Amino acid sequence: MKESIFDLLLEQAPVGFTRVDLDGRITFANKSARKTLDIPDDVDQFYYNDEKLGIVDIDRSPLPEGKYPFIIVSESKAPQYGMEMAFQREGDLKIIEVDGCPVFNESNTILEYVFIFHDITKDYEGKRSLIASIQRCRDSLSCHL
């Protein structure tokens, strides 16, 4: 069967895209999602909370079940934007922003969910560095008053 242009764009898009079934099983992850989530090419299916992914909160603590993007979107039954989580592998922390939404059929029944992943590690580190610099300036100024 010939792939459609849409399928090719989806696979080659520079942003991570996944499809997730109603049970939380990731049934499709494009090349960018696999890179962002560090998913080996030989892994076909896995669940949103698979321990092998190394999912943690941004402070490196375990991510509470209610903060997983899949849980948030499936419980709200509505699009959600700007959800943050992190992946920790061998001490390195990768911070991810996630947008997700349910996919409805014509009967308004949820068929599956789609999620888009953005690696925001550099942006997050830059923001933390800026906040620390501002705090040092405030501390310096308060000493001279």
Question: Could you list the mean pLDDT of each consecutive 10-residue stretch along the chain, which spans 145 residues?
Answer: 73 87 92 84 80 87 92 96 89 90 96 94 71 69 62
Which DSSP helix (H) or strand (E) runs through 16?
A: strand 16-20
Single out the residue of 35, 95, 34 nearest to residue 63, CA to CA.
Answer: 95
**pLDDT for 6:** 77
Question: CB within 8 A of 107, min separation 6: which ones?
Answer: none
Burial class of residue 29 (count of CB atoms within 10 Å of its CB; 0-12, 13-18, 19+): buried
Confidence (pLDDT) at 3: 63
CATH code matching the domain that covers 5-143, chosen among 3.30.450.20, 3.30.1240.10, 3.90.850.10, 3.40.50.1110:
3.30.450.20
Q: Which pLDDT belongs to residue 139?
A: 67
Find the Cα–Cα–Cα–Cα dihedral 47, 48, 49, 52, rounded to 10°.
70
**Residue 31 exposed, middle or buried by CB count within 10 Å (0-12, 13-18, 19+):** middle
User: Which amino acid appears at position 1 of this protein?
Assistant: M
